[in-house]
């Protein structure tokens, strides 16, 4: 049979508006395949057509849009005041004049498919304005002929008024059609006499003609493009923090890299199936769903970054939050992608799963931005909804998010229960990646935050084979080893801690490069180990390496530099380099109010350490001022009864005794002893407080 259908041209030149869909029956040619298999339909002009600008000569001018379709009685529509490409097949966002993207193709395609299967349009209307009113209101007519259930569910989703509720891509939509056709074949019923073959060059949202599989950049631009970059930059700089410009530059670079990697992976996934024929359509479906989840993460983080009145703490975490985006590489690992139990067959439930996963992405972004309480509220709401769906991989993901947030809030016991629940669900459903990260987080939460070192080590043994099975995803091994290093420090195993942190640095360097912030944090931890052991030169070298990397990635006035400067001051003080120690403490004090809050615990440490230095140098009056400042800060930021407050109280007692104020010394030292006796501190610290208090009491007795 000769090809049927006709190409449609435009009798005049029109100015073009942003891209939208232009799929319509005229673009489908039906022919005999020549191989005895019957009729084949091919799409010859599908995807990313442009809507027409309003032209003064066209307004209110009658025109006809005709097409060869099943029911020609409905093929003509009168255009009044139209600014459309093909008015009968426009998506609601185009009709409303909103920005259009590749999801418009799905709506247009579903309209044409509905018409082919039933002989009538999904929405009624003799004139364009009538048709468009029905589309915008979602008023679907009852079909003249029954549509098979599987196809009906696909069409229903593709005709969602909200573009976000449609399929992740045209490729996923087509995969669902194939799934429905296969199900009908298994049931012994032919879906239709015509097999629709959509070649790679015909896929609108996945391809930009004439180059096949080159639509990744356009797809990710809906999430990260010039206007969104400008919005984030404006939000960052509006905080007026001295580190904001550097945070913006470094975060933007990371988000740019992530978007490029996403676009490359998108095009490769398409080409692997549609061009090179290396992977099945099922593999393409898995990869596209994975990429959609990565894009949801990026979108959620961009939303966090572009909020009005942005919290400066979000800006201070921006670089590491950007680094925390789930790597794109995982979307090429078909074994890992195929391991979780299959999505529910019902497309409506699949849509609910996709919606909840977008909420998980929001919660993760809020967590990584430091908004723990808000993130927990999102996570618990999603967790409750996920339990109703009874889809175990999703429940494992929500449990992981809730567990990490509880840990960050210091609720170690509750966090452990959530992580254990998530780990069990992940293993039961084959969700290996989630099981791995759940175990890695549990090492830190249980072993370090909860001070249950041996239990933390048990979680590490559970994590190790999962890391190996997934071929050591970026940052996974380094995170696991660094967490074990922290447990070793807590248990006083400094030799092991040194080995762990060195190992973490080597693994992170191999994964993410030698200048990543992750390297700086492990280097700082390694410096603290050396300082505890009295190996001051190696400690200083480790601190300086961390300082160099922090400065490069975060800038000299970032809050992380304050913490490091305080630690370096303590090291210089232990080395007897009091002038260097003073400069380090002054660096922290100068950042107060601009880079760090006036009640920051780090500022309290600097005041306490500076007080010790001044006391050592024979300046008790100045020392007493810094000890008093440390007490006030920690009482506000921690708690009046926090055991850390005992440290500056001890210093204040010594300073007052040196100034001849024995009664004032007794008051400070008595309170320090009470705090230490009421907390789980070692006996030596309690004995120290008792000895100092006895000295002060003796001085009171000896005074006239």
The whole-angstrom separation of Cα 524 and Cα 548 is: 11
To 10 degrees, what angle do helices 646-658 and 683-702 make? Answer: 30
**Which pLDDT score is estimated for 585?**
96
With H, G, I as helix, E, B as strand and everything else as coil, classify residue 196.
Answer: strand
**Which pLDDT score is estimated for 94?**
84
The whole-angstrom separation of Cα 543 and Cα 564 is: 7
Among 602, 609, 599, 606, smallest CA distance to 633 is for 599
**Which pLDDT score is estimated for 125?**
80
The whole-angstrom separation of Cα 493 and Cα 491 is: 6
**Which pLDDT score is estimated for 150?**
80
Rounded alpha-carbon distances, angstroms, from residue 44 to 28, 40, 174, 210, 328: 6, 13, 16, 12, 32
Ordered mean pLDDT values, 10 residues apiece, the chain (704 residues) = 36 34 54 44 45 30 32 34 55 81 84 86 81 87 82 88 84 77 54 39 38 85 95 97 97 98 96 90 90 96 96 96 95 89 83 94 96 96 93 96 95 96 97 96 95 96 96 94 96 96 97 95 97 96 98 96 95 95 96 91 95 96 97 93 94 97 96 90 90 95 81
The whole-angstrom separation of Cα 386 and Cα 473 is: 26
- The DSSP line for 496-537 is HHHHHHHHHHHHHHHHH-TTSHHHHHHHHHHHHHHHHHT-HH
Q: Are 469 and 335 in contact (CB under 8 A)?
A: no
- Note down the domain range covering 168: 1-212
**Which pLDDT score is estimated for 46?**
44
**Which pLDDT score is estimated for 352?**
93
Q: Are 507 and 497 in contact (CB under 8 A)?
A: no
Q: Would 352 be classed as within a structural domain?
A: no
β-strand pairing of 195-196 with 39-43: parallel
Which backbone phi and psi does 17 adopt, to 5 degrees?
-105, 180
Q: Would 79 be classed as within a structural domain?
A: yes
Question: Residues near 76 by Cβ (< 8 Å), separated by ≥ 6?
Answer: 64, 65, 66
Beta bridge partners of 196: 41
**Which pLDDT score is estimated for 188?**
45
To 10 degrees, what angle do helices 536-554 and 517-533 make? Answer: 160
Q: Would 208 be classed as within a structural domain?
A: yes
The whole-angstrom separation of Cα 235 and Cα 207 is: 34
With H, G, I as helix, E, B as strand and everything else as coil, classify residue 28.
Answer: strand
What's the domain count of the chain?
Answer: 1
Q: Structure tokens of 156?
A: 């229903």
Q: Would 258 be classed as within a structural domain?
A: no
Q: Structure tokens of 552?
A: 């490069």
The whole-angstrom separation of Cα 385 and Cα 387 is: 5
Q: Read off the CATH number of the domain in which 108 is found.
A: 1.10.510.10
Long-range contacts of 464-473 (CB under 8 A, 24+ apart): 466/432, 466/435, 466/436, 466/439, 467/436, 467/440, 469/432, 469/436, 470/333, 470/336, 470/432, 470/433, 470/436, 471/333, 472/511, 473/327, 473/329, 473/330, 473/433, 473/436
Q: Would 661 be classed as within a structural domain?
A: no
Beta bridge partners of 208: 211
Question: Residues near 92 by Cβ (< 8 Å), separated by ≥ 6?
Answer: 107, 135, 136, 161
β-strand pairing of 16-20 with 49-52: antiparallel
Q: Structure tokens of 404?
A: 């990490």
User: Max Cα separation, the chain?
Assistant: 121
Q: Would 122 be classed as within a structural domain?
A: yes
Q: Would 659 be classed as within a structural domain?
A: no
pTM: 0.71
Q: Are 105 and 170 in contact (CB under 8 A)?
A: yes
A 10 A CB-CB count for 211 gives 10
Among 379, 281, 288, smallest CA distance to 103 is for 288
């009091």: which residue's tokens?
Answer: 578
Cis peptide before 210 (omega within 30 of 0): yes
For residue 272, the surrounding DSSP H or E stretch is: helix 244-274
The whole-angstrom separation of Cα 446 and Cα 443 is: 6
With H, G, I as helix, E, B as strand and everything else as coil, classify residue 25.
Answer: helix
The whole-angstrom separation of Cα 304 and Cα 294 is: 16
**Which pLDDT score is estimated for 85?**
40
- Per-residue pLDDT tens for 622-679? 999 999 999 999 999 988 999 899 999 999 999 999 999 999 999 999 999 999 998 8
Q: Would 487 be classed as within a structural domain?
A: no
The whole-angstrom separation of Cα 462 and Cα 438 is: 10
Q: Are 259 and 224 in contact (CB under 8 A)?
A: yes
Sign (positive or negative) of CA dihedral 209, 212, 214, 219: positive
- Per-residue pLDDT tens for 86-133? 577 888 988 887 777 778 888 888 888 888 888 888 988 877 778 888
The whole-angstrom separation of Cα 24 and Cα 33 is: 22
**Which pLDDT score is estimated for 183?**
61
Q: Are 361 and 296 in contact (CB under 8 A)?
A: yes
With H, G, I as helix, E, B as strand and everything else as coil, classify residue 30.
Answer: strand
- The DSSP line for 276-303 is S--S-HHHHHHHHHHHHHHHHHHHHHHH
Chain Cα centroid distance, residue 691: 52
């Amino acid at each position: 049979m000769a090809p049927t259908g006709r190409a449609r041209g435009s009798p005049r030149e029109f100015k073009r508006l942003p891209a939208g869909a232009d799929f319509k029956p005229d673009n489908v040619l039906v022919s005999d395949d020549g191989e005895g298999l019957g009729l084949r339909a091919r799409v010859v002009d599908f995807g990313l057509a442009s809507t027409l600008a309003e032209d003064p000569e066209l307004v209110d001018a009658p025109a006809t849009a005709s097409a060869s379709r099943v029911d020609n009685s409905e093929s003509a529509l009168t255009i009044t005041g139209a600014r459309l490409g093909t008015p009968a097949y426009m998506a609601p966002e185009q009709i409303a004049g909103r920005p259009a993207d590749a999801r418009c193709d799905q709506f247009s395609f579903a309209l044409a498919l509905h018409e082919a299967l039933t002989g009538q349009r999904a929405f009624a209307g003799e004139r364009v304005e009538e048709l468009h009113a029905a589309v915008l209101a979602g008023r679907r007519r009852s079909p003249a002929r029954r549509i098979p259930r599987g196809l009906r569910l696909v069409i229903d989703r593709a005709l969602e008024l909200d573009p976000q509720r449609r399929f992740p891509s045209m490729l996923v939509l087509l995969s669902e059609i194939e799934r429905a056709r296969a199900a009908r074949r298994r049931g012994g019923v032919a879906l239709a006499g015509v097999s629709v073959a959509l070649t790679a060059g015909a896929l609108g949202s996945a391809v930009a003609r004439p180059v096949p599989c080159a639509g990744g950049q356009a797809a990710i631009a809906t999430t990260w493009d010039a206007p969104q970059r400008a919005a984030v930059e404006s939000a960052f700089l509006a905080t007026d923090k001295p580190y904001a410009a550097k945070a913006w530059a470094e975060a933007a670079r990371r988000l740019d890299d992530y978007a490029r990697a996403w676009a490359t992976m998108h095009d490769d996934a398409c080409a692997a199936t549609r061009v090179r024929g290396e992977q099945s359509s099922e593999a393409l479906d898995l990869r596209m769903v994975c990429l959609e989840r990565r894009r949801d993460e990026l979108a959620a983080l961009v939303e966090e970054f572009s909020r009005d009145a942005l919290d400066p703490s979000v800006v201070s975490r921006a670089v590491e939050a950007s680094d925390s985006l789930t790597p794109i590489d995982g979307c090429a690992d078909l074994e890992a992608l195929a391991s979780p139990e299959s999505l529910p067959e019902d497309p409506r439930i699949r849509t609910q799963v996709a919606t909840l996963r977008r909420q998980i992405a929001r919660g993760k972004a809020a967590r990584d931005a430091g908004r723990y309480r808000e993130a927990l509220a999102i996570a618990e709401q999603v967790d409750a909804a996920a339990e109703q769906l009874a889809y175990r991989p999703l429940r494992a993901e929500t449990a992981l998010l809730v567990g990490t947030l509880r840990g960050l809030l210091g609720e170690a016991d509750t966090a452990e229960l959530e992580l254990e629940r998530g780990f069990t669900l992940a293993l039961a459903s084959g969700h290996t990646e989630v099981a791995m990260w759940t175990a890695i987080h549990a090492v830190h939460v249980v072993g370090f935050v909860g001070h249950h070192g041996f239990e933390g080590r048990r979680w590490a043994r559970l994590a190790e084979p999962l890391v190996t099975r997934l071929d050591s995803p970026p940052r996974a091994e380094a995170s696991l080893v660094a967490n074990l290093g922290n447990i070793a420090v807590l248990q006083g195993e400094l030799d092991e801690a040194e080995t762990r942190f060195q190992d973490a640095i080597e693994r992170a360097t191999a994964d993410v490069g030698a200048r990543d912030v992750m390297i700086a944090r492990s280097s700082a931890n390694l410096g603290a180990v050396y300082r505890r052991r009295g190996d001051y030169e190696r400690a200083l070298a480790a601190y300086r390496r961390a300082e160099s990397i922090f400065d490069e990635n975060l800038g000299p006035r970032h809050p992380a530099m304050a913490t490091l400067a305080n630690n370096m001051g303590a090291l210089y003080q232990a080395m007897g380099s009091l002038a260097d120690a003073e400069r380090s403490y002054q660096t922290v004090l100068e950042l107060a109010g601009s880079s760090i809050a006036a009640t920051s615990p780090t500022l309290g440490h600097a005041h306490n350490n500076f007080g010790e230095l001044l006391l050592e140098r024979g300046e008790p009056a100045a020392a007493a001022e810094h000890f008093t400042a440390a007490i006030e800060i920690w009482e506000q930021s921690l708690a009046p009864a926090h055991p850390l407050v005992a440290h500056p109280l001890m210093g204040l007692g010594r300073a007052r005794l040196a100034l001849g104020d024995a009664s004032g010394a007794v008051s400070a030292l008595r309170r320090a002893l009470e705090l230490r006796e009421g907390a789980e501190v070692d006996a030596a610290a309690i004995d120290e407080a008792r000895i100092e208090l006895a000295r002060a009491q003796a001085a009171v007795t000896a005074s006239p």
